[in-house]
Structure 1
Amino acid sequence: MTAATAEPTTDDPQGYSARHLSVLEGLEAVRKRPGMYIGSTDSRGLAHCLWEIVDNSVDEALAGYCSHIQVTMHADGSFEVADDGRGIPVDVEPRTGLPGVELVMTRLHAGGKFGGVSYTASGGLHGVGASVVNALSARLDVEIDRDGRTWAMSFKRGLPGEFADAGRPNARFKKRSGVHEIGRVGKNVTGTRTRFWPDLQIFLKDATVDGPLVMDRMRQTAFLIPGLTIDVRDERGEEPVEETFRFDGGIGEFCTYLAKDPAIVEILRLEGKGGFTETVPVLDDQGHLTPTDVERELEVDVALRWGTGYETITRSFVNVIATPKGGTHVRGFERALVRVLNEQLRATKLLKNNDEDVLKEDCLEGLTAVVTVRLPEPQFEGQTKEILGTSAATRIVAQVVTRELKAVFDNPGRGQKQQLRTVLEKVVGAAKTRIAARTQRDNQRRKNALENSALPAKLVDCRSADDRSELFIVEGDSALGTAKLARNSEFQALLPIRGKILNVHKASVADMLKNAECASIIQVLGAGSGRTFDLNAARYGRVCLLADADVDGAHIRCLLLTLFYKYMRPMLDAGRVFSAVPPLHRIELIKPRKGQDKYIYTYSDGELRQRLVELERRGQRWKEPIQRYKGLGEMDADQLAETTLDPRHRVLRRIRVEDAESAAATFDLLMGSDVAPRRAFITAGASELDMDRIDT
């Protein structure tokens, strides 16, 4: 660390001057702020150090120079990675005068990943991986086989030198620059062996690398590079654990390994490539970085299959580096997948013209997919490389997936046509389930809002809240005016409805809740609806349906009873729903006898004929024409109170459901959406109809 010093002046009352400014040089910045480079200093950060060294060997495999990698977790807490790649250069780099191995191990942003010359596709980009691990290691040893010789170099917390004892991080150390030869090998033998001991001054005491985690990571890498053999040995337990991974089938085998459910379609491989232009700084002959337009090529390889389950498993990689949080390549894959599946669903008529498009979540249900891309110098978000940021990847991946997936649907292989049809049906089923769930949530929210909101303004409430209280559902605003004067405001409440309400037997729950009249009835009663209906929460002791005594009034009563039967059934079961029976005729007597009422009310044509016969037999005359009520609005308040509302004189018809199955069948027949049985019922009963009773 270097610092510029200066004496404080009288103009600096807070004591803050240039001498308080620090300049971190070399690897000091890494040791001062390790989280910036490896994410954390716990087990996750320690594992990241191991991945940095492993990824260097994997980059050699990607370039075609490495076929075998050995990863060893030693009992003393150190980690070793060996490969048969080309080996880190040991010759002197002219600008710094340092051997190549010392340069990449001690200088940030130094390596062979810049400019796309040594590596056309790699996971390392910034040239900080090996140097960061070196800075955070109490000891790091590296051996390189090149040119028939074995070269070695050691470091202590990033400083080059020599240890007096091999394999001990606490051995006496002497600073020394340069690489030295320690043996001879065959001329064609090449490779790199790196072993490091994490610095306990940096990492937490309980930081460790989980053995199964390393096994999974190495298995994953072997899947991604067909033909690469990876040996993993864990010597930290009582017994060493060893595994070897090699998969010649690539990501197709990986997809099968990841899947947890039976397949409904065989593995689909979608491969292709595309080019794009990128402006990047490139080293010129003078060693200066100059912005240059570079033509890039991006290779796409996707394996996917749908299974019978519902879980989605997606793994994405860039140059074998996992991108657990996705990025532009995954975005392009998902867009193309949704677009192609929607097109196929429309083409096969599984989606009608007025149906909604399926969404990403529908297409991904039961899908297992591995999305890989390879390109030089990808742009990641941060050193941890969890998200790909190269914008061109979205377009190229989408183009490749669209083209290749369409080709699969247009020219299916033998036995594949039915499999693809099953996939489309699964996607449509997922969309229907999602829409149904959304509708259910919306209905529940609407119902909760309805039940919790204020009572409608058109309700004419009563003062009492005990079992005597009655709610009259009145047909029409005209009848409401008369009923207001006729009612007993102590215990009789009025709720007007306009005309015929919705036939809820044929409508959905959503349509029912949207209907203003149905919503008002449920809201005023205050006990909920459907399964959530609570009879004890009802605001009124009984409900009375007050409609005209004609065919339309009968229809309105039938529609109201349908609403109660389907959504407020406990009210019917408890016998708390009634139908008020208003008179149909009024006979005005001429010179009524003593004690006889001047008006006689009848409730049907048959009753009218019978009463007229009786009056004629007794020699009593009546005023012609006999009044026939066309509606409740024609009655004055005294008449309505006397005949329909006053408990001392009125006639109420209790509505009960004695036989639930028979009642359900009747509602289905008369109010359901199936027309044919209703037509047959009407036709069969036409001969029994008394034509004189038709109200025309």
Structure 2
Amino acid sequence: MNLDTNPYDGIRIEVLEGWEAVRKRPGMYIGSTGERGLHHTVFEVADRAVNEVLAGRAGRVDITLLPDGGVRVADDGPGEADPEALLTRMDSAAGPRGRHSVAPHGADVGPFVVNALSSRMTAEVRRGGVRREQEYARGAALTPLTDTGPATGSGTVITFWPDAGIFETTRFSFDALADRFRELALLNRDLDVSLTDERHPDGVRSVRFRFPGGGAREFVALLDGDGEGDGEGEGEHAAPAVTDTVGFEAEDPRMAGTLEVALRWRDGGEERVRGFANSHPTTGGSHETGLREGVAAALDAYARRRLLPAPPVGGPVGAGLTAVVSVKLDDPEFEGSTRSVLGNAAVRGCVAEAVREHLGAWLEEHPEQAAAVVGRARPGGA
């Protein structure tokens, strides 16, 4: 390179900080400026409130889509102690969260980024008998945090309006948001979350997600379209199940966390496996690999004990399988900027071992269903 002719030098380097950096390159923080990134803003704000519930500091979370295009996220926790820091400092959401918190969707930046990408945001805090409010525009405070009078109860309300100059669309999909909050409620039995849509002149649409007996078992049922939920299961036209649901939970100090697995086989159809790490949806990783290895090992061992033709090593674990594997770790390690692949190496062996033991025991207790499952896992199986 000829340094004499290179037009770029230190003088031309532009250093952006805070909300300016977020508005300049929003995709680095929320993935895209399309519908996916738009919904990401709701999750960034809602995850803070959800974690208040999971920590036992709040009872419920309410998300409302407003007629003017805004979104209101409210919780009944103790009230955010320092809302201004939460909404104006990128590092305020960082730090360890642990297995009892929802893992962030992307960079751990929280509501600060949403504030920067909103044309307007308001924060209302009820704490210690006092109500305090503050208003922002595109990340900058328009007013100081002001006491506005006495308050009954406690809680935090954050309302924001996405900036039409940033996003390709500012219209939220009720169904897309509902899918995610349904997931969270199924994966966290203590969670009580409602989603309300006030945008339609024909009337308000509202759904409440709470599954006190839920977990992975009910998640599998909903995926196959025979769970209760809110009538919007993903597998409404799925083939009928040919096995019972096998489900279990366990804590394993080797991976510093807990695991929950549920699975069953349907009468045909493709394998359907859903993975989650600290309630964050994944597209692969050590927990999903462990699940498949554990299922394959259990089927192979059972077939050999019963002198049945064993499934091929490394082959599919069975057509028609529906499964959910959820791990909650003290220190989850994700690969890539999208955080969609779990990297914790110890999880793979822990999940595989637990699945092999529990599924193996179930196969021994249900020989007729077991023979059908083993047959499906062989080449040319039903």
Q: TM-score, normalised by structure 2?
A: 0.87
Query: Is the aligned partner of 1:109 residue 2:109?
Result: no
- 2:326 maps to which residue? 372
Query: 180, 183, 199: which is aligned to 2:146?
Result: 180
Taking structure 1 as reference, are residues 87 and 360 closer, same or farther at Cα in structure 2, changes over 3 Å only? farther
What residue identity is the alignment partner of 2:167?
F
For 1:385, what is the secondary structure of its paired residue?
Answer: coil
C-alpha separation in 2, matches of 1:195 and 1:129? 14
- 2:300 maps to which residue? 342
- 2:229 maps to which residue? none
C-alpha separation in 2, matches of 1:382 and 1:141? 33
C-alpha separation in 2, matches of 1:64 and 1:347? 47
- 1:43 maps to which residue? 35
Q: CA deviation at 1:358?
A: 5.2
Q: Which has the bigger relative contact order, CA under 8 A and spacing at least 6? A: 2
What residue identity is the alignment partner of 2:101?
A
Taking structure 1 as reference, are residues 15 and 374 closer, same or farther at Cα in structure 2, changes over 3 Å only? closer
- 1:250 maps to which residue? 214
- 1:304 maps to which residue? 263
- 2:128 maps to which residue? 147
Q: Does the 8 Å contact 2:54/2:191 carry over to 1?
A: no
- 2:154 maps to which residue? 190
Query: Is the aligned partner of 1:263 residue 2:245?
Result: no
**What does residue range 637-652 of structure 1 map to in structure 2 within 5 Å?**
none
Query: 122, 128, 133: which is aligned to 2:114?
Result: 133
C-alpha separation in 2, matches of 1:317 and 1:35? 23
Q: CA deviation at 1:42?
A: 1.0
- 2:205 maps to which residue? 241
Q: Does the 8 Å contact 2:363/2:370 carry over to 1?
A: no
**What does residue range 1-20 of structure 1 map to in structure 2 within 5 Å?**
12-20=4-12
Query: 308, 312, 318: which is aligned to 1:357?
Result: 312
Q: CA deviation at 1:359?
A: 4.2
Q: Does the 8 Å contact 1:72/1:80 carry over to 2?
A: yes
For 2:263, what is the secondary structure of its paired residue?
Answer: strand
C-alpha separation in 2, matches of 1:74 and 1:253? 31
C-alpha separation in 1, matches of 2:303 and 2:271? 20
For 2:241, what is the secondary structure of its paired residue?
Answer: coil
Question: Cα deviation per residue 1:78-110 (whole Å; 9 max; x = unaligned)?
Answer: 1111112343223xxxxxxxxxx2222222232
C-alpha separation in 2, matches of 1:318 and 1:129? 18
C-alpha separation in 2, matches of 1:183 and 1:377? 41
Query: 102, 106, 116: which is aligned to 1:122?
Result: 102
Query: Is the aligned partner of 1:314 residue 2:273?
Result: yes
For 1:143, what is the secondary structure of its paired residue?
Answer: strand
- 1:561 maps to which residue? none
Query: 189, 194, 207: which is aligned to 1:226?
Result: 189
**What does residue range 646-661 of structure 1 map to in structure 2 within 5 Å?**
none
What residue identity is the alignment partner of 2:374?
V
C-alpha separation in 2, matches of 1:314 and 1:15? 52
Q: CA deviation at 1:71?
A: 1.0
Q: CA deviation at 1:381?
A: 2.8
Query: 183, 200, 214: which is aligned to 2:164?
Result: 200
**What does residue range 309-458 of structure 1 map to in structure 2 within 5 Å?**
309-323=268-282, 325-351=283-309, 357=312, 359-361=314-316, 363-410=317-364, 412=365, 417-418=366-367, 421-433=368-380
Taking structure 1 as reference, are residues 425 and 120 closer, same or farther at Cα in structure 2, changes over 3 Å only? closer
Q: CA deviation at 1:139?
A: 0.9
Taking structure 1 as reference, are residues 136 and 265 closer, same or farther at Cα in structure 2, changes over 3 Å only? same
For 2:142, what is the secondary structure of its paired residue?
Answer: strand
C-alpha separation in 2, matches of 1:18 and 1:154? 37
C-alpha separation in 2, matches of 1:226 and 1:120? 12
Taking structure 1 as reference, are residues 65 and 264 closer, same or farther at Cα in structure 2, changes over 3 Å only? farther
C-alpha separation in 2, matches of 1:191 and 1:383? 32
What residue identity is the alignment partner of 1:79?
V
For 2:341, what is the secondary structure of its paired residue?
Answer: coil
C-alpha separation in 1, matches of 2:160 and 2:333? 28
Of the structure 1 ranges 60-69 and 249-258, higher mean CA displacement relative to structure 2 is found in 60-69
Question: Cα deviation per residue 1:170-208 (whole Å; 9 max; x = unaligned)?
Answer: xxxxxx4xx22223334xx3322111111112111x343
Of the structure 1 ranges 38-47 and 213-222, higher mean CA displacement relative to structure 2 is found in 213-222
Q: Does the 8 Å contact 2:53/2:190 carry over to 1?
A: no
- 2:251 maps to which residue? 273
- 1:98 maps to which residue? none
C-alpha separation in 2, matches of 1:228 and 1:356? 40
What residue identity is the alignment partner of 1:23?
V
Taking structure 1 as reference, are residues 431 and 406 closer, same or farther at Cα in structure 2, changes over 3 Å only? closer
- 2:232 maps to which residue? none
Question: Cα deviation per residue 1:527-559 (whole Å; 9 max; x = unaligned)?
Answer: xxxxxxxxxxxxxxxxxxxxxxxxxxxxxxxxx
- 2:234 maps to which residue? none
- 1:61 maps to which residue? 53
Question: Cα deviation per residue 1:607-664 (whole Å; 9 max; x = unaligned)?
Answer: xxxxxxxxxxxxxxxxxxxxxxxxxxxxxxxxxxxxxxxxxxxxxxxxxxxxxxxxxx
Percent identity reads: 35
Q: Does the 8 Å contact 1:114/1:377 carry over to 2?
A: no
- 1:473 maps to which residue? none
C-alpha separation in 2, matches of 1:238 and 1:248? 33
C-alpha separation in 1, matches of 2:347 and 2:182? 26
Q: Does the 8 Å contact 1:313/1:369 carry over to 2?
A: yes
Taking structure 1 as reference, are residues 15 and 115 closer, same or farther at Cα in structure 2, changes over 3 Å only? closer
- 2:174 maps to which residue? 211
C-alpha separation in 2, matches of 1:272 and 1:207? 42
What residue identity is the alignment partner of 2:89?
R
Taking structure 1 as reference, are residues 270 and 328 closer, same or farther at Cα in structure 2, changes over 3 Å only? same
C-alpha separation in 2, matches of 1:34 and 1:24? 13
Q: CA deviation at 1:137?
A: 0.7
**What does residue range 161-172 of structure 1 map to in structure 2 within 5 Å?**
161-162=142-143
C-alpha separation in 2, matches of 1:248 and 1:207? 34
Q: Does the 8 Å contact 1:26/1:107 carry over to 2?
A: yes
Q: TM-score, normalised by structure 1?
A: 0.49
For 2:253, what is the secondary structure of its paired residue?
Answer: strand
C-alpha separation in 2, matches of 1:73 and 1:182? 25
Taking structure 1 as reference, are residues 318 and 13 closer, same or farther at Cα in structure 2, changes over 3 Å only? closer
What residue identity is the alignment partner of 1:58?
V
Unaligned runs of 5+ in 2: 225-237
What residue identity is the alignment partner of 1:103?
A
C-alpha separation in 2, matches of 1:399 and 1:182? 57
For 1:22, what is the secondary structure of its paired residue?
Answer: coil
Query: Is the aligned partner of 1:82 residue 2:74?
Result: yes
Q: CA deviation at 1:335?
A: 1.1
Taking structure 1 as reference, are residues 67 and 402 closer, same or farther at Cα in structure 2, changes over 3 Å only? farther
C-alpha separation in 2, matches of 1:76 and 1:344? 59
What residue identity is the alignment partner of 2:196?
R
- 1:620 maps to which residue? none
Taking structure 1 as reference, are residues 264 and 238 closer, same or farther at Cα in structure 2, changes over 3 Å only? same
**What does residue range 93-108 of structure 1 map to in structure 2 within 5 Å?**
101-108=83-90
